[in-house]
């Protein structure tokens, strides 16, 4: 730095003392001398960058640039503000507690379990009904319906236990042929995030319901399950099953039904009529006609039937005759090929036996042939009802 520049700085420093320091109270001369001695011992190896920075500072910065040949600089009239080191743990504000899965006061564990997570977890299922079944302890639920596995059929979520967190509800089937048992099970997570079993909502039984079709968790935590009276399979169509929505709620230690029907009425398709009949042998009557009888037996091997329709496919010349037709709701005399007799209700396991007379008028000729005797179930509207096994609904007889 040139001498002229140094003198300029000295003039500025003198002006600073006249205008600023007169307005403040500064430490005494002894403090000033101590400050000067300390600063004079510093090395003056400042780089050009430091010099440029000091030129942009206050008058105190200019004074710092004056070497030891210049008079002592004044003490800064106000304390410099600096960033204090981070306070120790005794004075720092306590951080907000993090939410964890365990310990008193912790958040309720989230029981929303995805399909993939449930399939990947080792779970315990409520016991299957007595008889051959699938494992229940420390098992993996399967994503497919292979024989002998616990198959995940459906999944839904909702707060079923009222704790403010979501749980998972699953429809599971033990695959054993086409009619393996089924149950709806609620799952949750414990404080460590492990999947745990909350409880069974509903299960199929040997009687009814034999099938679970769907599930739905509604806003109030009710688990709605669509139950069916008869399991599909073995020729039984799922469309034939009676379906009901039943609601279940958690009661603290188990689920209980709170809405929907509690029983099923008769299923119109749950019938199995079996017919047998004797041959028709015609003999000569005193008036020149030919007469004979057919004994028909109708047995119901399943549920009740509202009405039974009996058909006999005999030639038109063979007409109903005698009192045996009095059990018919209709008038068989008015029917032709086949002759029809509509019977009343036939209870489950019941059997009816009919002895039906026939007459061939004199002058008519009837040879030898075959005729079908057929029975069909009808509902209360007289509509025909399909059966699972209908090959025994028809039998062939001989007439001669």
pLDDT tens for residues 65-119?
344 443 434 333 333 333 333 334 333 333 333 333 334 445 778 999 999 999 9
**DSSP letter, residue 23:** G
> pLDDT band at residue 132, thresholds of 50, 70 and 90?
confident
Task: Please list, residue by residue across 193-224, b when 16 or more beta carbons sit within 10 angstroms of its beta carbon and e when fewer do.
Answer: eebeebbbbbbbeeebbbbbbbbebeeebbbb
Whole-structure pTM value = 0.64
Closest CA to 158 of 249, 252, 257: 249
Rounded Cα distance, 18 and 268, in Å: 115
> Which one has a higher pLDDT value, 295 or 75?
295
Scanning the structure block, which residue is given the tokens 């089937």? 173
- CB neighbour burial string for 105-139, b if at least 16 within 10 angstroms, e if fewer: eeeebebebeeeebeebebebeebeeeebbeeeeb
For residue 317, what is the DSSP state? T
Residue 67 or 127, more confident: 127
Give the pLDDT band of residue 18 (cuts 50, 70, 90).
low
Which is it for the CA torsion 178, 184, 189, 190, positive or negative? negative
Q: How confident is the model at residue 8 (pLDDT cuts 50, 70, 90)?
A: low
Residue 54 near residue 64, CB atoms below 8 Å = yes
Q: What Cα–Cα distance (Å) separates residue 110 from each residue in 12, 36, 158, 186?
A: 72, 68, 11, 13
Q: For a pLDDT cut of 70, what percent of the chain falls above it?
A: 74
Average pLDDT over residues 307-319: 96
């Amino acid at each position: 730095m040139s001498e002229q520049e140094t003198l300029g700085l000295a003039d500025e420093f003198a002006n600073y003392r006249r205008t600023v320091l007169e307005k403040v109270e500064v430490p005494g001369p002894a403090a000033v001398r101590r400050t000067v001695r300390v600063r004079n011992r510093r090395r003056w190896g400042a780089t050009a960058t430091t010099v440029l920075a000091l030129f942009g500072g206050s008058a105190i910065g200019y004074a710092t640039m004056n070497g030891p040949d210049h008079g002592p600089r004044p003490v800064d009239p106000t304390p410099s503000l600096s960033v204090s080191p981070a306070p120790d743990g005794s004075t720092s504000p306590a951080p907000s507690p993090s939410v964890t899965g365990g310990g008193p006061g912790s958040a309720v564990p989230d029981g929303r379990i995805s399909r993939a997570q449930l399939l990947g977890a080792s779970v315990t299922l409520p016991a299957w009904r007595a008889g051959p079944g699938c494992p229940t302890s420390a098992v993996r639920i399967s994503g497919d319906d292979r024989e002998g596995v616990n198959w995940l059929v459906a999944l839904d979520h909702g707060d079923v236990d009222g704790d403010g967190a979501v749980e998972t509800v699953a429809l599971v089937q033990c695959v054993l042929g086409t009619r393996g048992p089924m149950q709806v099970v609620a799952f949750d997570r414990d404080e460590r995030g492990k999947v745990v079993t909350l409880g069974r909502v509903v299960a199929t039984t040997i009687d009814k319901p034999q099938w679970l079709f769907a599930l739905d968790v509604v806003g109030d935590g009710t688990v709605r399950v669509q139950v069916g009276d008869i399991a599909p399979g073995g020729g039984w169509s799922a469309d034939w099953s009676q379906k009901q929505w039943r609601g279940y709620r958690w009661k603290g230690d188990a689920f209980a039904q709170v809405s929907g029907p509690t029983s099923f009425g008769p299923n119109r398709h749950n019938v199995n009529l079996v017919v047998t009949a004797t041959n028709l042998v015609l003999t000569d009557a005193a008036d020149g006609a030919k007469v004979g009888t057919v004994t028909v037996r109708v047995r119901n091997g399943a549920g009740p039937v509202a009405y039974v329709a009996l058909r006999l496919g005999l030639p038109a010349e063979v007409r109903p005759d005698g009192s045996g037709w009095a059990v018919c709701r209709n008038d068989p005399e008015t029917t032709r090929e086949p002759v029809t007799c509509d019977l009343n209700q036939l209870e489950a396991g019941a059997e009816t036996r009919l002895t039906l007379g026939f007459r061939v008028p004199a002058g008519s000729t009837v040879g030898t042939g075959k005729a079908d005797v057929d029975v069909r179930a009808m509902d209360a509207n007289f509509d025909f009802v399909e059966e699972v096994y209908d090959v025994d609904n028809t039998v062939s007889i001989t007439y001669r």
